[in-house]
Structure 1
Amino acid sequence: MKKITTTLFVICLLGYANFAKAQDTDNYKRNFKFGVGLNAGLPLNDPYSFNVGGDVRAQYNISSTYSLCFTTGYNNLFVEDDVNFGYIPVKVGYKTFLFSNEFYAMGEIGGAFSTTKAYNDNSMIFCPSVGYATKAIDISLRYELLKDFPIIKKSAANEGLAQVMVRLAYGFDL
């Protein structure tokens, strides 16, 4: 848990350093966006069969092509034996818009906090993603690695729960 807190603190500190510029060299009006999304995913490890959840995202647009993001929500992994495994992801990220500011690539890192009584451990979470965003709609595809969540077969090359997820969200300026 201490590693997660330290990592998140360093990322926030680096993000703050970007805001602390002495002069504003461009005329871009920085602003916040807020988004509410639905997530569905396919876990790549046993015993999980499906993942569904929701999230909220606050995004600070540094420029017309770069943004900092904070995302949290709730996800529920469905297990083959009718036992569900819930967790709360808390992530910070960096989004870069490509082409005509509609397509983007994003990386997020953070913690996943278990809400299931049978499993009390937490995990680091890593999420690279690509997506398409308009003024109101955001559709993305991401790979998610929950490093310390339980899986059936662990090997050196297969450590942690991996999954592919789709996010459909509605966003608006604040």
Structure 2
Amino acid sequence: MTGSSQASLEIVVQPPPSVRVNRSLVPPIVARTRDPQLLEDYSSGGKHIYATAVLYSSNMEDCSSALVGHWNVSAQVVTESSSSGRNGGSSSRSGSQQWLYFIFNPIAVSMEGIFAFNVVVSALSLSSASATGVSQVVAGRSTRQFNVVAHQPRTERPGSSERQILRRLEAAGVYSP
């Protein structure tokens, strides 16, 4: 990515509405992008693409020190078949799409409160000309707010689109519940 352009990023699996202190978020937070430049950078091996989950409170205070688990994850490429009937198109094959997924599993919060995550995607140049590498933020998106409580909250199932994404990731071998 060059200049100030930002890649598109989706949070496709949101945190549950409530979670117990120090318990892994189930389902985990999942973000994805199909930005052509990031896919090229990933495929060529020229850049390491990764995402960081930054935890912040309802008053926008950085609470990332309360995170336990995988708050910094590498991109994982997943190829998904395009459905031919989705846009009412022809019956011919429309091919497949590649996505870069970022799966924060397991991740937990070690204190009570109302929080949200800001997922920030970065690209680290791996050129041999630079001994240290240069990292550039290329995308960011926030999750919905969620509560972290001391008692066991009522369990809520993820939505159907979230369950579908998790099944695809499990089938691709990049996620295990």
- TM class by shorter chain equals 0.3 to 0.5
Please report the TM-score for the alignment, with normalisation by the length of structure 2: 0.34
Please report the TM-score for the alignment, with normalisation by the length of structure 1: 0.35
